[in-house]
Structure 1
Amino acid sequence: MRDPEDPELLALVHRYVLPGRRYLKLGGPLLRMEEDEYGRFLRALREDAGAVSAEEIGVLLEGGWRERRTAAWLVAVGGRTEFRERVGGLLLESEVCCAGLEWLRTAPHMRHRGGDPGPGYLSLVRRLRAVVEECAAGVGGGVPGPA
């Protein structure tokens, strides 16, 4: 994990994570947005997903939960299949309860447009779903997302 005061990380946080408190709107809140707000938010996210470099994503993935969450969505929306395993691995290793749920929310976006997601992707989603189901059972809840 990078030092939160690292100048390179801070510049990327100000560019991709903090505008409009983006990191708080990813996941469940995104699904509850009104149509106009949803469209604006997704357009801005797509623009940034197209602009962010692989190196910048790598730096964000070395940050805290806000940076990693934002990076995961930039990867998903941008169709950056080269990061599937790394993002999935970070979520599987997370010590935060139900972190895999965030992956299940982004998983449908991780498929490369028009391509086969491949066995690695499907295996990862199944493992994450198992982690989330175990966590959800512990708190008495159900599991949204792909089966």
Structure 2
Amino acid sequence: MYMTRQEAYVDLSALGAEGLHWRYVEHSMHAPWFYITLTRHSDGYTSRTMLQTMDPAVLATVICSASNELSVTDVMIVTPPYVNGTPSWQMEKLWEFSQCHSEEHGSLDSYLVTGKRYYTPELASDIEYIKLEKCIYYNALGI
């Protein structure tokens, strides 16, 4: 969940800007969130834009909606301390995103970053018996 404060609002309507513009947003939930870099190809031109979301379903939808005109170029995951095992939030390149299932834990989101894998909700015990429940939505390694 994002929160905004009125003092963060930037009025760009005089410049013809669409939507609401904010200097900052506040996160009220301590859950992983994602920066998704999209590349648009139109009439011989290429442009990039960035989406930010805390919803793994949005991440999956954006990835699965890629086309010749719009592709996912890169995904970064930002994890809170309880997920990454450090004392602070960390931003890392996301190499793979999938959904898994175990009899003991039910459905889990799986995030592969360099040298480790995170699961949400957090696993309390051995992960040996996790079985793939859905497709791998994102694989930056190409495997």
- Establish whether TM, by shorter chain, passes 0.5: no
Q: Higher strand fraction: Structure 1 or Structure 2?
A: 2
TM-score (norm 2): 0.29
Larger Rg: 2
TM-score (norm 1): 0.28
